Amino acid sequence: MQRSRILGPIGIVWLGLTLGVIAYATRLGLFLAPVDALQGNVFRIIFYHVPHSMLSLLFPYVNLVASLFYLFWRQRDPLKSLTADAVAIASAEVTVVYASICLWTGMLWGRVEWGLWWTWDARLTSMLLLWLLYVSYLMLRKLSSTGQTQTLAAVLSVFAAIDVPIVYMSIKWWRTQHPAPIFFSGDPDAKMDPSMLPAFLWNVLGWAMWGIFLLCFRYALERRRQKREQDAALQAIEASLEMAQ
Amino acid sequence: MFGSSMEAHHLLYVYLSVWLIQGGYCAWIAWQWLRSGKDSRSSIPLDSETGRDS
């Protein structure tokens, strides 16, 4: 049996589960989690903002690992390198989607809480830089006409991944306006109230499942594109051989 | 909760825009998937799709 015939139903079941978890998490975040004593209802933005921010720092590592495999395999095993390249482009796009949401929802929260849409704070600036790096990665792949586009993109991906720990550590290394992290901060004031944790954790789970679904779906699309390009190349070779005869 | 204050508006914008961006990206992939399915229906499967080792 073809692998795609098994993966199709699994994908549909996964999507159904994911939408169920997101619906439940959204209900918890919007209607059941208690109102924050200091911020009021605008605090509920956190239930979408923080999971997207956390995941936008994880998908770049999928891109990095895939890019490293691409660089390793590109001359040793071109077929495997194509698989790695498909994972790399899929994860870069998902990174841009999650980082865009992180920046946008952060701006909407900042406008209410700080009275500012944007400030050149270390966390915000390093996150914007991360977004720009992955947008430039996608632009390079889209616009470059050299035969080395995938290799150049893989090298850029290695450099872009360096920004991820800088974004994560920015609120520890520098004095910033951004709130301290909810977990692993050591600051008791920054910790989330236990009554809000279920809404937060369900949202992390739901958006992580959604991100995995998008990653797999985009990967499958890229593999289909690669297959079409291989077919076109094969047909061109066959046509040239027929002409030679 | 979704009243007329700026806080309420921004909370609404966050939840709506997240669904819009995520749904829009998923719809774009699905659109490309359907389009590419029509183009490559008669083509040869990749080794990875048939489960064979390359």
Q: What is the ipTM of this complex?
A: 0.89
Whether B49 and chain A come into contact, CB under 8 Å, resolves to yes
A164 assigned to some structural domain = yes
A86 assigned to some structural domain = yes
A212 assigned to some structural domain = yes
A11 assigned to some structural domain = no
Cross-chain CB nearest to A228 (options B21, B39, B49): B39
pLDDT of residue B38: 67
pLDDT of residue B54: 37
CA distance B16 to chain A (A): 11
pLDDT of residue A190: 65
pLDDT of residue A35: 83
B17 vs A contacts (CB less than 8 Å): 101, 104-105
Predicted TM-score of the model (pTM): 0.89
The total of other beta-carbon atoms located within 10 Å of residue A90's CB is 25
Q: What average pLDDT does chain A have?
A: 91
pLDDT tens-digit profile of B1-54? 666 788 888 999 999 999 999 999 999 999 999 988 766 554 545 555 555 443
Domain span including residue A68: 24-179+196-244
CB under 8 Å to A78, separation ≥6 — which residues? none
pLDDT of residue B53: 45
Cross-chain CB nearest to A2 (options B10, B22, B45): B45
User: Which residue in A77, A203, A218, A226 has the most chain B C-beta atoms within 10 A of its own C-beta, making it the best mutation to test that interface?
Assistant: A218
**Segments of chain A scoring below 50 in pLDDT:** none
Position A139: which residue type? Answer: M
Whether B34 and chain A come into contact, CB under 8 Å, resolves to no
pLDDT tens-digit profile of A10-45? 999 999 999 999 999 999 999 988 888 788 888 899
d(CA A224, CA B37): 8
User: For A113, how many CA atoms within 13 A lie in the half-sphere containing its CB?
Assistant: 22
pLDDT tens-digit profile of A51-72? 999 999 999 999 999 999 999 9
Cross-chain CB nearest to A228 (options B29, B43, B49): B43
- Pick the residue from chain B with its C-alpha nearest to A40: B7
Backbone angles phi, psi at A12, to 5 degrees: -70, -40
Cross-chain CB nearest to A214 (options B8, B25, B33): B25
A121 assigned to some structural domain = yes
pLDDT of residue A175: 79
pLDDT over 90 for what percent of chain A? 67
Q: How many domains does chain A have?
A: 1
> Contact A91/A215 with Cβ under 8 angstroms?
yes
Backbone angles phi, psi at A39, to 5 degrees: -95, -20
pLDDT of residue B7: 84
d(CA A7, CA A39): 44
Q: Which residues of A28-40 are buried (b: 16+ CB within 10 A; e: fewer)?
A: bbbeebeeeeeee
CA distance B26 to chain A (A): 7
